[in-house]
Amino acid sequence: MWFFLKRTLDNERHQTLSRRADRLGELLRQGQDESDSDRQQDFNYFAHATGNGLSEIFRSNGVRVYPSPSAAASSFPWPTELLGKRDRFLHVRTGGQLYWVLIRPFSFREQPIYLMMAAPEAGNLLILNGFWRGLLASFPILLLISSAGGYWLSNKALRPVDRITATARSISIRNLSERLPVNHSGDELQRLAETCNEMLGRLELAVKTIKQFTADASHELRGPLSFTRTVAEVALRKPGTDPESRIAFQDIVDEASKAAELLEQMLTLARADAEPFDKPLEPLNLVAVVEETCGLARRLADERHLSMSIVCPPQLTGCVLGDFSSLRRLLWILLDNALKYTDPPGRIVVSLMATSNEAVLSVMDSGAGISSSDLPFIFDRFYRADPSRSQVEGSGLGLSIAKWIADTHHAEISVVSERDKGSTFRVTFPLSNFEAHKMV
């Protein structure tokens, strides 16, 4: 804007000097038949009437045709050495001021002369300086307006990206059927969303195929395993079976039992992936779940010479919306995990505590513990920790099932553990699912 204004003001100054030179040339043509004194007098009148006397007429050798019409013109540094055949505009500085000078070639009585006009540029400089100060003063406001406009435009432009990002983050293996929102704008965002939806469709089909294969394979293998186990058990009942065969049949029974348990766990997870949790959630006593499950586990703890205690205030009744069998299975998985990895004479503590916001069911053991590198992955399917823990029999699916049960009950399962010092698993139920009442 500043340069545009400067160019406009310079053009206006050039036009003023050009019109002034046009009038002087017309005056000279009209006075060709007059005497030199009359022409000089006309020139003086013209110079004083226009431009405050800053006008001169020079011959090609730099000599004035007429005496200077004013003292200012006489002392002005006219650029007589830059004469040419076309109009020229020059900058001349004198007395601390800047002037525009027009040099125009002119033919008078077939003799080349030069008409020179000068005009100060102080007025233009005042306008330019004022405009520049105005720009500097308005710069913060302009910056604020431009920033606000840019922020609004960027938000409007990136709003579809935010929707796509939020939807993409919400999609997991449990809701692969969802799709990203498509903004029919014909731009790159539409093509990106459509491409991602096509990819999600392929992933959904692949996951469904894998889930169906897992479920079908697990279901089909249950029959042969049951038959194998039954045949081995029948053979063990025969009194005439030799000792080596009995050992072999017992191994078959044990391995078939482990395989059946693994298949049952795989079927559970396959059903969890394929369809939502369909069991009704009813109000139940969480204390009853703890007492019944710990009663079954206490016998195993006694056989392994482990001490087992329950910390549950007798006046506490935990009311939680859930499925009794599923919560009992969750607690049994945690107890079974503690029994497996705790050596005698270890201890296991099951506690149920309630606060104003939540209920916490925890299982603490003094067993082998879990290394910090394994903690982020212990709820993954088929994940087994370090080799020392892998010596214990297990499929690596129990904690995955426990996490699935906790998720279906809107609870959060977590673990705190340290090598050789034991582990503590916690299942936290939110206030919406739990109410604690103290009995009088």
Q: Is the pLDDT of residue 437 over 50?
A: no
pLDDT reported for residue 390: 47
Measured distance CA(382)–CA(396) in Å, rounded: 4
Identify the domain boundary among 72, 91, 120: 120
- Asked if 313 and 426 sit in the same domain, the reply is yes
Per residue in 171-208, pLDDT tens? 877 677 888 888 787 778 888 888 988 988 888 888 78
pTM above 0.75, yes or no: no
Query: Could you tell me if residue 253 is inside a domain?
Result: yes
Give the DSSP letter string of 254-282: HHHHHHHHHHHHHHHHHHHHHS---SPPE
Q: Is the pLDDT of residue 392 over 60?
A: no
The stretch 7-24 carries a mean pLDDT of 91
- Asked if 291 and 213 sit in the same domain, the reply is no
* Residue 112 Cα distances to 57, 61, 65, 105, 117, angstroms: 11, 10, 11, 7, 17
The tokens describing 147, both together, are 């920033």
15 confidence band (pLDDT: 50, 70, 90): very high
Query: Could you tell me if residue 412 is inside a domain?
Result: yes
Residues 6+ apart with CB under 8 A from 253: 229, 232, 233, 236
Q: Is the pLDDT of residue 337 over 60?
A: yes
- Asked if 102 and 15 sit in the same domain, the reply is yes
Per residue in 54-100, pLDDT tens? 899 998 888 888 888 888 888 899 887 767 788 889 989 988 889 99
Enter the DSSP assignment of 391: T
The tokens describing 233, both together, are 């058990």
- Asked if 311 and 425 sit in the same domain, the reply is yes
Query: Could you tell me if residue 25 is inside a domain?
Result: yes
Measured distance CA(113)–CA(74) in Å, rounded: 18
Per residue in 235-288, pLDDT tens? 888 877 788 888 888 888 888 887 777 777 777 776 666 666 667 778 887 888
What are the beta bridge partners of residue 102? 89, 117
Give the DSSP letter string of 320-338: EEE-HHHHHHHHHHHHHHH
Measured distance CA(25)–CA(28) in Å, rounded: 5
- Asked if 206 and 232 sit in the same domain, the reply is yes
- Asked if 310 and 413 sit in the same domain, the reply is yes
Contact 102, 21 (CB under 8 A): yes
Per residue in 118-172, pLDDT tens? 999 888 888 988 988 888 888 888 889 999 998 888 888 778 888 888 888 888 7
Q: Is the pLDDT of residue 224 over 50?
A: yes
Identify the domain boundary among 274, 303, 324: 274
What are the beta bridge partners of residue 99? 92, 120
- The sign one gets for the Cα dihedral 117, 120, 123, 124 is positive
Query: Could you tell me if residue 148 is inside a domain?
Result: no
Question: Mean pLDDT lowest for which of 19-28, 150-159, 408-417?
Answer: 150-159
Q: Give me the helix-helix angle, 243-274 and 398-408, nearest 10°.
A: 30
434 confidence band (pLDDT: 50, 70, 90): very low
Identify the domain boundary among 220, 250, 274: 274
Measured distance CA(366)–CA(389) in Å, rounded: 14
Per residue in 342-363, pLDDT tens? 888 899 999 988 877 788 899 9
Contact 56, 92 (CB under 8 A): no
440 confidence band (pLDDT: 50, 70, 90): very low
pLDDT reported for residue 438: 39
- Asked if 259 and 332 sit in the same domain, the reply is no
| SS3 at position 414 | strand
Contact 311, 271 (CB under 8 A): no
Per the prediction, the chain carries an average pLDDT of 83
Structural domain containing residue 100: 2-120
Above pLDDT 70, what percent of the chain?
A: 90
Class of residue 79 by CB neighbours under 10 A (exposed 0-12, middle 13-18, buried 19+): middle
Query: Could you tell me if residue 338 is inside a domain?
Result: yes
CB atoms within 10 A of CB 286: 26
pLDDT reported for residue 62: 83
- Asked if 331 and 347 sit in the same domain, the reply is yes
Contact 305, 339 (CB under 8 A): no
The tokens describing 406, both together, are 């906790």
- Asked if 286 and 420 sit in the same domain, the reply is yes
pLDDT reported for residue 433: 47
- Asked if 290 and 239 sit in the same domain, the reply is no
pLDDT reported for residue 349: 93
8 confidence band (pLDDT: 50, 70, 90): very high
The stretch 400-423 carries a mean pLDDT of 89
* Residue 415 Cα distances to 198, 334, 363, 371, 401, angstroms: 38, 11, 9, 12, 15
- Asked if 261 and 290 sit in the same domain, the reply is no
Residue 222, φ and ψ in degrees, nearest 5: -65, -40
- Asked if 295 and 399 sit in the same domain, the reply is yes
pLDDT reported for residue 424: 93
Measured distance CA(372)–CA(342) in Å, rounded: 18
Query: Could you tell me if residue 254 is inside a domain?
Result: yes
pLDDT reported for residue 439: 33
Query: Could you tell me if residue 161 is inside a domain?
Result: no
Query: Could you tell me if residue 372 is inside a domain?
Result: yes
The stretch 331-351 carries a mean pLDDT of 91
What are the beta bridge partners of residue 321? 283
The tokens describing 3, both together, are 């340069």
Number of domains in the chain: 3
Residue bearing the bigger pLDDT, 314 or 356: 356
